[in-house]
Structure 1
Amino acid sequence: MRFINPKIDFAFKKIFGSSDSKDILINFLNAILYEAQPVIEDLEIIDSQPGNPTFGVQDTHLDVKATINGGRIALVEIQLINVPFFGNRVLYNAAKSYSLQLTGEERYERLKTVTSLKIADFEMFDNQPEFLSRFVFKEKEQQFDCPDTEIELVFVELPKFSKGLEQLETATDKWIYFLKNTSTLETVPEALSAVPELQKALIIANEENFTQEELNELENQELWIQDQQIAIDVAKEQVTKTAQLSLILRQLVRRLGTIQPETENSIRQLSVEELDELGDAVLNFNHPSDLTAWLQANAI
């Protein structure tokens, strides 16, 4: 038995955003937002495909949008790539959904709470070990909630979730495990199948329930994501290398004086790891020949 990757946009919408998925989405949102309490009794899944894309922001999209219990709005999005200004996009989409509730002469009391749930396949918050974070408006000094907090941002950072099947305790644990690990499963785990909605989600995620055209679409989306991530990683490495190179060249000039062009060119060819090693060795150099000897002995 093989399962598709539920983190891919096409699969995520099929599992959580289809007309037959209301019970799955209710159970999922109750687990993540309300500690599995039956706060959400009913919802309506709304077609969340964007109309005209925002100028300069081609990926301003929502995976699933729903109205909860006839009023409140839930926005659910999964993000696999840590793109620039992701946090700004999250707040923009939440604020936009909040403001668009009113039309014409409608009064502000008609506004309903917007909860924006973002599932990130990367770490967002340093020095925060928990995988689930919630943000609301608070008073800066005393930290009490703003009485009119109508926008709530909830983030799930998948890399911070490390529990195995035998460690799953709560409904929240089980849904996060489903999102993170389903594509690696070969059978339906008992820990997940015990929850009817999770069992249904796993049935939907079975590759046998997808046409070949749909599987090709999933593969294309996954390959595109991999290509984008590689491009981002290469760009980050280049920025890191440029900063390292600039610092090390300044250190060498201070310690040894003028660096010959051919020597500088050799240094520029070093990898990020080699530059790290050279940075450690610089303090031991007393003569240009020391640098030359190091390059001959250590450059790959």
Structure 2
Amino acid sequence: MLRREVLDDGFIMSPKNDFVFKLLFGDSKNKDLLIELLNAILKMPHDELEDIELSNTELLREFAEDRKGILDVRAKTKNGEHVDIEIQVLYTEYMAERTLFYWNKMYNGQIKSGDTYDKLKKCITINIVDFKCIEINKLHTSFHITEDETNQKLTDILEIHYLELPKLFDNNILKDEDDLVVQWMMFLEARNKEAFEMLAEKNEKIRKAYNILEVISKDDKARAAYESREAELHDQMTRLKSAKEEGIKEGIKTGIKTGIKEGLKEATIKNAKNFLIMGLDVDIVAKGTGLSVEEVQKINEELN
């Protein structure tokens, strides 16, 4: 059997890479880390999360490099509530619509034809995103279905959370570094050993997460999968940037063409007005300007 190579060059993976995130929080051996993260975000009692059940952990078995692998973390609480955590580094314009689409799949997937509605349990979606998508000056926002005026909840069945990592660097947004949610967000955003070690001093569970991160960062097979995922993400970012730039170029070209066309039209109309004021016949003005007789008649009516 081939021996797994252990690398020790000081390299540390980014925990906000979805592959690494799942290794840290989607492995049953690290269930305590997931419980701490969920408790920080959801403020659930620990006893509800003690018997949390993980699903879709197949990616972890072989450090799969399959691009079709499911890279979110899904769990079920003691009370049967479904939780889906996804970390998203690529900008998505329709983030709210995307969130509701996948929440709906999770919600509807609980029952089969003939089942009664009482089998439906609460579904919670947690989006950790590497871009700003909510126009509220908060790092962590949560949403439910409420009545417009009284803010009374229609039902507790839907719960959606957003944790926006770039807002950590926004000086206009208040952040308490003793807040557990802020600490976990800082851990995900950390880029060097100094930042990780500072957080590990404050938070025992983050220390454990960092220790695991150090171990998997030295594993050659895990690193190969990580680098493959990073390359794929960079490719997607490049394609998105190229498409955006091409769209801007095409928009400029179209705008110039439209502007020229509209400018010529305005000049033609102005000439037609001058000819009509001079007393020339409508038919002659139409032939001289290239406008239709109907257009020249309309201009003439406006002048009179």
TM-score, normalised by the number of residues in structure 1: 0.71
State the shift of 1:163 in Å: 7.5
- Tell me the amino acid that sits aligned with residue 30 of structure 1: N
State the shift of 1:254 in Å: 5.3
Distance 1:163 1:4, change over 3 A: farther
Report what 2:23 is aligned to. 14
User: Residues of 2 paired with 1:111 and 1:131: CA distance?
Assistant: 30
Report what 1:65 is aligned to. 74
Distance 1:60 1:214, change over 3 A: closer
Q: Pairwise mapping of residues 1-300 of structure 1 onto structure 2 (< 5 A)?
A: 1-34=10-43, 38=46, 40-42=48-50, 43-47=52-56, 61=70, 63-83=72-92, 85-103=94-112, 105-125=114-134, 127-146=135-154, 148-162=155-169, 168-181=177-190, 183-186=191-194, 188-206=196-214, 210-252=218-260
Deviations 1:65-119, CA, capped at 9 Å, x for gaps: 1111241111011111124644333222222222222346543223211100011
User: Residues of 1 paired with 2:101 and 2:206: CA distance?
Assistant: 31
State the shift of 1:30 in Å: 0.9
Distance 1:139 1:155, change over 3 A: same
Larger radius of gyration: 2
SS in 1 for 2:199: helix
Distance 1:70 1:140, change over 3 A: closer
User: Residues of 2 paired with 1:21 and 1:120: CA distance?
Assistant: 22
Report what 1:274 is aligned to. none
State the shift of 1:186 in Å: 4.3
Deviation beyond 6 Å, 4+ runs, structure 1:
none
State the shift of 1:49 in Å: 5.8
- Tell me the amino acid that sits aligned with residue 229 of structure 1: M
Distance 1:69 1:228, change over 3 A: same
Distance 1:169 1:194, change over 3 A: closer
State the shift of 1:60 in Å: 9.6
Aligned partners of 1:131 and 1:158 also within 8 Å: yes
State the shift of 1:252 in Å: 4.8
Deviations 1:223-252, CA, capped at 9 Å, x for gaps: 110111111011112212222333344445
Aligned partners of 2:11 and 2:218 also within 8 Å: no
Distance 1:23 1:78, change over 3 A: same
SS in 2 for 1:90: helix
Unaligned runs of 5+ in 1: 51-57, 259-300
User: Residues of 2 paired with 1:24 and 1:74: CA distance?
Assistant: 15
State the shift of 1:221 in Å: 0.7
State the shift of 1:255 in Å: 5.5
SS in 2 for 1:149: strand
- Tell me the amino acid that sits aligned with residue 151 of structure 2: Q
- Tell me the amino acid that sits aligned with residue 136 of structure 2: Q
- Tell me the amino acid that sits aligned with residue 161 of structure 2: V
User: Residues of 2 paired with 1:188 and 1:218: CA distance?
Assistant: 19
SS in 1 for 2:76: strand
TM-score, normalised by the number of residues in structure 2: 0.70
Distance 1:213 1:157, change over 3 A: same
Aligned partners of 2:85 and 2:125 also within 8 Å: yes
User: Residues of 1 paired with 2:261 and 2:101: CA distance?
Assistant: 47
User: Residues of 2 paired with 1:232 and 1:168: CA distance?
Assistant: 34
State the shift of 1:62 in Å: 5.1
Report what 2:275 is aligned to. none
Aligned length: 246
Identity of aligned residues (%): 26
- Tell me the amino acid that sits aligned with residue 115 of structure 1: I
